[in-house]
Amino acid sequence: MNKGRILLKLVLEKIGFTDLEEISNFTTRKILQKNIYLLQLTGLDLGYRYNWYLKGPYCPALADATFTLREEIKYDNEFNEYELNSKTIRKLDKLDEITALPDAVQAEESEWLELLASLHYLKHIAYWAGKNDPRFEKVFEKLSKSKPNFAEKENLARAAWKRLEDNGLVEHKTLE
């Protein structure tokens, strides 16, 4: 098993993906994709690069690595010889802080993570005409056009924007 997939396995376990058979479920894969996208914003670069897709930022290489990992761990337990260092654990703790659903917010985990990742991606990575205007309203307008299912969820999107802002991810592309 290569070192990248060993690290991915350890990270996935830490964020709650202990049974990779569950990645057969679309919603589970979406949650996994958004968690890794947001984790990399903390400064833990796992090497995955994202494109804009139907449900926001998506990385085909991560999908491939996860499915490969699912098969590898059936026959190879080399990852048991490794553990995450304290710096990585701190970044995973920061991910928890970023992704925790606020008490006052009613949303499914997958929807919340999709909003966090999509707003960040549109603000900092995607190329579009209004990108130079950093206000929530402009980013939300672009989000609503790209994802009409969020057009009526401005309050939820504002809560996600505030979470990004509170964690320095509106002003900065990453935390490092």
Give the model confidence (pLDDT) of 19-54 as tens digits: 999 999 999 999 999 999 999 999 999 999 999 998
pLDDT of amino acid 132: 76
Confidence of residue 1 (pLDDT cuts 50, 70, 90): confident
Residue type (1 letter), 12: L
In percent, how much of the chain has pLDDT > 70? 100
What's the whole-number mean pLDDT along residues 134-145?
A: 93
13 three-state secondary structure? helix
Confidence of residue 100 (pLDDT cuts 50, 70, 90): very high
Q: Is the pLDDT of residue 134 over 90?
A: no
